[in-house]
Amino acid sequence: MIGRTPALEGLQDLLGYRFVDAALLDRALTHASVKGSATPRADNERLEFLGDRVLGLAIAHALLRREGDAQAGPLSKRLHSLVSREACADVARNLGLGSALRLPGGETRRGGRGNETILADACEALLGALYLEAGFDVAAARIEALWGEKLEAPVDLAQTNPKSALQEWAAAAHQPAPTYRELHRSGPDHHPVFLVEVRIGEGWAAEGQGGSIQAAQKAAALALLRQVAARP
């Protein structure tokens, strides 16, 4: 892994913005599990809360401009997909954000720099910090640039809402509705990992893993949809 200082430089180059307030950038990239901070709120949770709202508004604006004739329902599905944990984590990876994170040693050894939830949360925190320093117009412009390929990509219901897509397939195939069951939970309270099984009748089953029950269910549904597509 590259050192943190070069990682911070590379992150800002790819973001297309250089922070004047280095402490604000550092806070956006500091995970809540880091102890011994100089102030009680020196981690990125509050910035994540803000960045989530900034991202949603910026993407909503972009969708309205690009899809002027679309109805609210399809727009909501697109928005949900574009601001999802998976989308944010993908953008974070493209920025090399994992190497720039401030994490405790134990979290790093457990693979925290590649963890989807940690990356997605830090990506939102970074956007919150960008909004605070540069304002909404700059933040929205950088979001559109970072999400450009995703904004142009065609809608895929299986990726956007795999649980709904799986339920629709089951109904069309005259199968029972999918049922989900939690198999296992591991990890600390601030970073849990859930393993979930989805089953349709007696012939179809798959497992999925995620940082929440909902994320694990989505992963399981997507895995089963891929089984369905692969079977003749």
Range of the domain at 190: 162-230
Structure tokens at 210: 């995620």
Q: Of 129, 154, 179, which closes a domain?
A: 154
Question: For residue 22, what are the β-bridge partners?
Answer: none
For the chain, what's the residue count?
A: 232
149/187 same-domain check: no
Sheet strand arrangement including 193-200: 179-186, 193-200, 204-210
What's the token pair of residue 84? 């999802």
Q: What is the pLDDT of residue 153?
A: 81
Q: Which of 43, 48, 52, 197 is catalytic?
A: 52
Same domain, 135 and 177: no
Chunked in runs of 10, what are the mean pLDDT values of the chain (232 residues)?
80 97 95 65 89 97 86 84 90 94 72 84 97 98 96 70 88 94 85 91 91 89 89 70
How many Å apart are CA 187 and CA 133, to the nearest integer? 35
CATH of the domain at 177: 3.30.160.20
Q: Is 182 a catalytic residue?
A: no
Same domain, 126 and 167: no
pTM comes to 0.71
Q: How far apart are CA 88 and CA 59, in angstroms?
A: 12
Q: Mark whether 172 and 61 lie in a shared domain.
A: no
- The dihedral formed by the CA atoms of 56, 39, 89 and 61, expressed in degrees to the nearest 10: 20
Number of domains in the chain: 2
Judge whether 122 and 29 are in contact, CB under 8 Å.
yes
- Of 154, 187, 211, the domain-final residue: 154
Partners of 196 in beta bridges: 182, 208
Active-site position among 90, 121, 124, 197: 124
Q: Are residues 137 and 61 both part of a single domain?
A: yes
What does the pLDDT read at residue 192? 83
In this prediction, residue 27 carries a pLDDT of 95
52 catalytic? Reply is yes
